[in-house]
Chains A and B, each alone.
Chain A
Amino acid sequence: MDDLLGDFVAETLENLETLSGEVIAWETDPSDRDRLDAFFRFFHTVKGSCGFLNLPRVEKLAHRAEDVLAAIRTGDRTPDPHTISAVLAVMDRIGDIARAYGDNLPVPAEDGDEALLDALTAAPVAPAPVEELVGEVELDDGSARTLPSTPRERAPRTIRISLSLIDQLMNAVSDMVLARNELSRKLRDTNADPDVEGSFERLSACVADMRDMVSKTRMQRVDRLFTALPRMVRDLSQDLGKKVELVLEGGDVEMDREMIEMVLDPLTHIVRNALDHGLETPIERMAAGKTETGHVRIAARQSGNQIVIEVVDNGRGIATENLVAKALRLKLIGENEAAGMTHAEKLALIFHAGLSTAEQVSAISGRGVGMDVVRTNVERIGGVVTLDSTVGRGTIIQLRVPMTLTIIPGLILRCGTELFAIPRGNVIELLHENSAMVTVENVAGARVATIRGLRYSVVDLEHLLGREREHVEGGARTLMLVGSPTGVPYALGVDAVENHEELVIRPASPVVMAAGIFAGMTLPDNGRPMLLLDPAGIAQVADLPMELDKSEAVQAELQQRLEEKQAQTIPALQFVEKGGQHRLIPLDTVERIEDLPAALFGVTEGQQFVRLQDRLVRVANPGTINDELVKTLHLKVGGQEICYVVEDVADIIDMPIRPHLRVRTHGIAGVVSHEGQHLEVIDAHALFAGQAADNDSGATAPGTCLIAGLADDPWMRTILAPLLVQAGYDVRDAGTPEIEASHGPAVLLCDNGAGQDDGVGEGHGPAMPIIRLRAQADADMRDPHQSIYRYDRASLLAAVDGALRRQAA
């Protein structure tokens, strides 16, 4: 293809993509000159290029659209919905033609053009009924929080690079890493001199940086996922005669390019469902006492190495009784089973193939492709779909997908002489077969493992692979308790688990995937290819029974074990106090370790300070300074700094987040036993609060503390969460979907500034008490929330305790 034409096609399509989001916003506010100008420029540019490239047909289309927009600019025409639709239709046609040129496909027939142009120039006819049908779509791209003085952020400078070039770059970097590893082995074997090793280390660091940067080129903003949505929602709402306000949030979150492509279809489907089945018509809404306009909110956010995309509508919700009735009719469940189902279980029926709540199948959501396909597609990429709905109030669907397909933490396991990887996220527990907690029995050929009273199917990997099981004298095999988010956990028997590694996963070829038990392949640093096992596939191929053990004890046990695994330990710094005793402090609070000259220390009004550059920082444990150089821990959390004078730094260890012994006295949070030593854990909260903790030993009311922003806010994570855990509460992120399932009293803690946007108060019901914490010591008279100063430990704990007691009562 001609280079010039290629550039024109790429540029036009890119502009169209950007504009499709803008058009709806412009329609909502026709007086927005900036947007109007943007469209005008687009058509003007297309017209110009087409003249140059001799594409008279596109030129004509662009020219007429430009004329109409020019008339609107001068005020001769009003941007009524009819005109906007006509302009959009012309844009679509230009896009179709450009794509056809780009892919060397036959160009769409020309006969439709005239009709489009007529619609464009026609005076708006009978606007009244049309207006009634127009979907109102409002755009909120979440950029409102940026500086108000610059309403539109200038896009970062970019150039266009072909994907294959990036892939080649990625491959080249991988080659480089392998070459480095080889060199590293050779250097080790030959005992190279330290000078050479130094240079090699530098090279290694560069290579590692480069690998990171190249991986970043694969990341794209979620905006790309969002661009098509406003237009789709507009068109759909028009077709359906519904009024919709669409809110998009978190477009600046980044995820892997491939991942975006994989999520696009499921997301589109969910949004279509929300519009078609979820939202009511304006008349129905009015009758139900709701606003005429329905809301659909799509929000993306990062949570750890996952991206959470939430689609929330305030429509009619899902009628669970219809689902149950249909499931009964289709014999998916029995009468008894149906009677014992919880609300969540009934809702989960929607993920069954063949169940769709709508009475009729419509053209919008179509038939065939249902939520079961959405779930399958999301799970295929290692994600999870959850759904909650209240009849009359609306539906929340949450997609959780890994940020990238390509790098996952994995466990390497050995089976005979072969090595395999398995995603670490799927492994609940590792046990030795001869452990006291495990018994493995043969029941009529079925192998069953009983682990702490629960029974699991056992799959021996060798058996599945058709290999002979090697008998190793005295070597106990390892049982991996494996589960997918939705399946039934089972025990996978392997020879041994070797180690864990971050693995770069690439897709395996179809012939390999046909085996049904592999999810991909990886090339570890030793250069020997390795396959990634697919836990769900193994369960399927091994033909394991799929019914869940429904008893609550089983569920609770699994849940607890998962949680224990997630929140068991945090890294802690072990240091030696001036007095000689060893103590621990959470590593996250330690900014750096410094030797400071004694001259920098001073005392003011009984408080000891140290001068760091131009700031004075409080010393947490004042004492006499004898040495010339004083070793200090520089602690910093959420902008607050403290110095802690120590004798020496000993080690970094993994410390259980729940101390083995809870004490609450003189700045100590508890005692942890580690390798035969008893180590006191510094109460970081008390340190920052500037006062030793009170001797409160009163029993606390049991309950759950939900913390908004636990994953993102370091203060919440390293200071608040340990304080509450040590006080005996369950602590969870307010954003996790399991909250709904949790029972018993709960309280939500959040930053005073947090609002609806941060997910505070959403989905938790009005009964959930909220405790707001502020960073300033002094109360603001205008503060409507009666917030609590976050270092006011006594008030904070009293508020939590009080709220939980009130709920329990």
Chain B
Amino acid sequence: MSAPLFLFATVAGTDIAMPTDELEAVVHLGEIMPIARTAPQVRGLAALRSRVLTVIDVRTLVTGDLTEMGRAPLAIVAEVEGHTYGLLIDRVSDICPVEGGMLPVRGRVGAAWESYAKGMILFENRLHLAVSIPDFIRQQALSAAA
């Protein structure tokens, strides 16, 4: 079997990596329509051709701050439990196969990322935090329900 593919991105200064089979695309979003009465990380709705994405700010989830959105914010498109989401991130660096895949977590992950840490990925001689996209959706669904 060939080595698993990972997407490498940056959120709030942290390098993260996620398996590419969890996501569909990385796009620049157009206009985002805000939604009232929702959790702070729900930034709004955006149209991607005929699909409507619920835009989730990953930075808000981990730090509580809002990502500053330029003209065309960058988002990862992913489908979780039948709904399509756009996850706002700061930067995407690469998509690469990683020989050996995920490594176990070492050290103590900070409180912000603790609930999202799946493992670590060694890529270009640097460690990236391995995360899973559905976690960002489910965790906040829980917090919204609370």
Contact = CB atoms under 8 A, between A and B. Distances in A.
Interface of A: 171, 174-175, 177-178, 418, 464-467, 506-512, 514-518, 521, 523, 527-531, 541
A420 to B, nearest CB: 10
Given A465-B37, A528-B31, A531-B35, A511 B140 contact: yes
B35 A515 contact: yes
Interface stretch (B8-16, B43-51, B68-76): B43-51
B141 interface: yes
A529 B46 contact: yes
Interface residues of B, number: 28
Given A418-B33, A509-B83, A528-B33, A514 B49 contact: no
Nearest to B34: A418
7 contacts: A171-B50, A418-B33, A509-B137, A511-B38, A511-B137, A512-B54, A518-B35
B66 interface: no
B50 A514 contact: no
B52 A510 contact: no
Chain A: interface secondary structure? Answer: mixed
Given A171-B50, A171-B51, A529-B52, A515 B37 contact: yes
B3 interface: no
B51 A521 contact: no
A514 B141 contact: yes
Interface string B73-113: 00000000111110000000000000000000000000000
Contact of A528 (B34, B47, B56, B81): B47
Interface in B4-60: 31, 33-39, 42, 45-47, 49-52, 54, 56
A495 to B, nearest CB: 15
B144 interface: yes
Contact of A523 (B50, B54, B145): B50
Nearest to A178: B50
A506 B51 CA distance: 10
Contact of B83 (A175, A507, A530, A541): A507
Contacts of A516: 37
Contacts of B49: 171, 174-175, 178
Contacts of A529: 33, 45-47, 52
A394 to B, nearest CB: 41
A515 B49 CA distance: 25
B50 A510 contact: no
Contacts of B144: 510-511, 514
Contact of A531 (B39, B45, B46, B84): B45
A518 B144 CA distance: 15
Contacts of B137: 509, 511
Contact of A509 (B37, B47, B54, B145): B54
A175 B37 contact: no
B33 to A, nearest CB: 6
Contact of B47 (A418, A464, A517, A523): A523
